[in-house]
Amino acid sequence: MSSRTMRRQVLLFSLVLHLSTVLGQVSYSIPEEMPSGSLVGNIAQDLGLDIKRVKSGKARVYTGDGVGYIELNTDRGVLLVRDRIDREAICRQTTPCALHFQIILENPMEFYSTTVEITDVNDSPPTFEKNEVRFKISESAVIGAKFALDRAIDLDVGKNGLQNYELKPTDHFILKRNSQGDGTEKVEMILQKHLDREKEDSMSLVLTAFDGGDPQMSGTIRISITVLDANDNAPVFTQSTYTATILENAPNGTIVTGVSASDADYGTNCRIKYSITNSLDKAHALFQIHEDSGEIRLIGNIDYEKMQNYHINIRASDDGGLTDSCKVIVNVVDINDNKPAINIMSKLNMISEHSNPSTVVAMINVQDPDSNENGEVHCFINNNTPLTIISTSKKFYSLVTDSELDRERCSEYNITVTCSDEGVPSLSSSVTLTLQISDVNDNAPVFERSSYEAFIVENNTPGLSIFTVKARDADWNQNARVSYILEDFSVNGVPVSSYVSVSADSGVIHAVRSFDYEQIKDFHFRIKAQDGGSPPLSSNVTVKVLIQDQNDNPPQVLYPVQTGGSLVAEMVPRSADVGYLVTKVVAVDVDSGQNAWLSYKLQKATDRALFEVGLQNGEIRTIRGVTDKDAVKQRLAVIVEDNGQPSRSATVIVNVAVADSFPEVLSEFTDYTQDKEYNDNLTFYLVLALAVVSFLFITCLVVIISVKIYRWRQSRVLYHSNLPVIPYYPPRYSDTLGTGTLQHVYNYEVCRTNDSRKSDCKFGTVGSQNVLIMDPSSTGTMQRIQSEKNILDEPDSPLEQKPPNNDWRFTQGPRPGPSGATGGPEVAMGTGPWPQPPTEAEQLQALMAAANAVGEATATLGPGTMGLSTRYSPQFTLQHVPDYRQNVYIPGSTATLTSNPQQQQATAQQAAQQALPPPQQQQQVQSEPPKAAQTPASKKKSTKKEKK
């Protein structure tokens, strides 16, 4: 199809669509063979409907005949192709081909008629019924002789239908097409050159049929010609067109009409045979012609509603191969053979009893395929119903209410709709509709009893059904659907939902837990029955659950007490007479009723002839007198049983000693063997206690050894020395950290930089940060002015460097000599003699030991990095000894320690001002207890320890 032709069709369709929309009917045009889901048109927009109206009205497509090629998408309001549409299968050769259906809406009910025209596409090629046709033509056939050929059939219409034929080769024959009055064509083959049987006794031609579609499609048939001898006259029909009528539903074998043809030849050349050629309406399958007489009979079923007329092509041929053709038109006469078809377009199955009059209940479409008066239909309904039927348009009816409805009077109506036509005889059909009247929720559920009592045996299985409550509602359907709800309630402070549950649908009460009669004997709760109406109505009922006792507890023996390992025995004197009360077995049962009734029986005894047990009271008495032959040790096994079903029991062992004195009993029971279970338990606990004690001992031992090793290693690191030190102290010096007269502490003041801890500096432990302040008369006491802290315990802790003093010379207190010792004025001035001075060798050893310790601590420090003060210097020699109280020199420093009283007083004042540095610079160093100075003997001992 060219673009210009398509443009014209679109303009024509738009004009028709515009006019149809104005008239309330919408028409569309689509090509056939569109895929499923293809868009047909926006029906909501074309009808002026809102999408909300399409959804709320439950819009749908109604076709009437039940075949739906078009569907409605309510979400978009558009028409879509539902199934593949084949125009040839729907309309055959009828043009135009259209689908008619209605768009149905509810609430309120209304419909719109819609037409969809199906345009043809070139999907069917021209076809011939046969693949080959044979002709016998006499060689005497004159030029211009005609030979009728089979027509090609193209199911398409219009330009896509059959358009042209082509015959090849064309040496002897040409093709001629003759138009007939009904719009069809007759195809003939015309002889244009004489045949010569002696040259060519047979020939083959190909007839090709073409359609006008794009792309063009074609079909072929082979023509086989046998050349015969002379037959120069062809048959001729008496009429070119014959007309006949036949009633629909006529039986098979009915004679329709007859045709006749004549041949001027003589003999066998004038013998004519009749045949039906191919036809578009499949007439050859419904009709049959007698090949000799030309009589046409019905061999199939015809229906006026399917086809109103048939065109039969008849061909007459003689033995010489000459032919002629004619057409027979058979018109089908309609009879009233179809009942009206009642189709329910839409209906309400239920309507509220409060509905207003004139409410549409159903919309009905009535179809009668018969024609004229046979297709005229009228409808009516049965009486005694509050409804009526009215005609809205041709073939459409509405069933509406004409009075008020009352469900209590009638809850359901059966409405019979009857439709009949005007044919003779009249045919009718009917359909019955059932309309239910919906109820209004005006009745609350009512329980069968005002209260309920239920019983359940204790130790039940959780989920066990206890009882069933039932409530009824006089309403209908959802309004009468009762749901059971367990109301919130507490039983002994616990929600009742942890005790029972109720089935919302059946009202069956289930136990959520297993009940124990000894804990709870009864409880009650409330159940609400609520219907499904809107708003819902409800009622309540009280249910009381009583727990029944079960024999689930054995008797418990209170006396005599079973002590396991220890032995308890009752003494019976040998002078005991008959009926002597030995003891009484006391037992209880926590169950109730007969489950708690106890009985006592003697199960085993050393001598059954000596004792008996009271059946009800459990008293153990002698049943004969005690003799000397009776054994001292008597063992009784008493069983206590309750009266439950099945009964439960407990056994108690009673030991009885038949003796007059306790020593006799003791000697008899000393070899008493305890129970094996008790001995096993005792052994287990003894082994366990031994293992725990052993573990604790080993752990403590390991900890003590670890501590000793740690302290020994610390002592080696901090106080190791190669030279023996024999210090000398003034007689008035007192050591506050220990007992005795010798001071064991060396005082050092160390100033470190921030990065000193990263160097290879080695120095001894700060012995003490205490400053000894004594008055000149030596009557003062030592005061601790800084808290103790061992800086070696935390080697990685951040340390702030103390700024060095401007003048770090000694004050009077820490001057050379014993630590912190001050003498009288003569000592302070450096002129007084030492009391009991040591020898020169001893003083030299003390000075060298102190210098060696200081040298190791300051070996890696540069000038100005660390300030260190001590009472001795390693550079002292023998010539310095007499003057050591006046001046002290520090290696690597230009400072001189002097004993000038004025200079010492000024230095003391300056030191007092700098004694308290800022808080952020204060470092509290904890001191460790010092070790005593090593003597030659002690050094030998330490050397032995190190070797070990």
What sign results for the dihedral spanned by CA atoms 657, 662, 665, 669?
A: positive
Dihedral over Cα of 486, 488, 490, 495: its sign: positive
Q: Are 415 and 381 in contact (CB under 8 A)?
A: yes
Q: Tell me what the mean pLDDT of segment 864-880 comes to.
A: 37
Query: What average pLDDT does the structure give for the chain?
Result: 75
At residue 669, the pLDDT reads 62
Confidence at residue 840, expressed as pLDDT on a 0 to 100 scale: 55
Of 164, 35, 33, 36, nearest to 88 (Cα)? 33
Mean pLDDT of all residues in 426-430: 93
Q: If you average pLDDT over residues 403-410, what whole number do you get? A: 82
| Better-predicted residue by pLDDT, 423 or 922 | 423
Model pLDDT, residue 867 = 35
Cα three-residue angle 783-785-791, rounded to 5 degrees? 125
Out of 2-6, 230-234, 387-391, 716-720, give the one with best mean pLDDT: 387-391
Q: Whole-prediction pTM value?
A: 0.42
Q: With H, G, I as helix, E, B as strand and everything else as coil, classify residue 490.
A: strand
Arithmetic mean of pLDDT, 726-740: 43
Instruction: Let me know: does 95 contact 103? Beta carbons within 8 Å.
Output: no
Residue whose structure tokens are 């014959």: 242
Structure token digits, residue 865: 């990095």
pLDDT of residue 810: 36
Position 315 confidence tier, pLDDT thresholds 50, 70, 90: very high
Strands 295-298 and 482-486: unpaired
- Judge residue 69's burial from the number of C-beta atoms within 10 Å of its C-beta, 0-12 exposed, 13-18 middle, 19 or more buried: buried
Q: Would you state the pLDDT for residue 891?
A: 46
Before 96, cis peptide (omega within 30)?
A: yes
* Torsion 785-789-790-794 (CA) sign: negative
Cα 469 from Cα 526, distance rounded (Å): 11
pLDDT at site 632: 85
pLDDT confidence band for 137 (50 / 70 / 90): confident
SS3 category, 376: coil
What CA–CA distance (Å, rounded) separates 652 from 434? 82
Of 237 and 809, more confident: 237
CA distance from start to end of the chain? 119
Q: Does the pLDDT at position 423 exceed 50?
A: yes
CB neighbour class for 15 (10 Å; exposed up to 12, middle 13-18, buried from 19): exposed
Distance CA 454, CA 547 (A): 9
> 302 phi and psi, to 5 degrees?
-115, 150
Give residue 586's pLDDT band: very low, low, confident or very high (50, 70, 90).
very high
pLDDT, residue 678, reads 56
In this predicted structure, the answer to whether residue 936 has a pLDDT above a threshold of 50 is: no
pLDDT at 595: 87
pLDDT band of residue 631 (cuts 50, 70, 90) is confident
237 pLDDT higher than 80: yes
Query: What would the mean pLDDT of 8-16 be, rounded to a whole number?
Result: 37
pLDDT of residue 227 exceeding 90, the answer is no
* pLDDT the model gives residue 547: 92
Cα–Cα distances in angstroms (integers) from residue 651 to residues 173, 397, 727, in the given order: 131, 94, 88
Q: What pLDDT is recorded for position 544?
A: 94
Q: Identify the pLDDT of residue 883.
A: 42
Residue 543: what are its φ and ψ, rounded to 5°? Answer: -120, 130
pLDDT at 247 over 70: yes
Residues, the chain, total?
A: 948
| Higher-pLDDT residue of 575, 221 | 221
pLDDT at 417 over 80: yes
Residue 918 has pLDDT above 90, yes or no: no
- The predicted-structure confidence for 151-179, as pLDDT tens digits, reads as follows 888 888 888 888 888 999 888 999 988 88
Calculate mean pLDDT across residues 466-470.
93
Residue 668 pLDDT grade (very low, low, confident, very high; cuts 50, 70, 90): low
- Nearest Cα to Cα of residue 480 among 443, 510, 455, 516: 443
Give which of 96, 149, 84 is closest to 123, Cα–Cα.
84
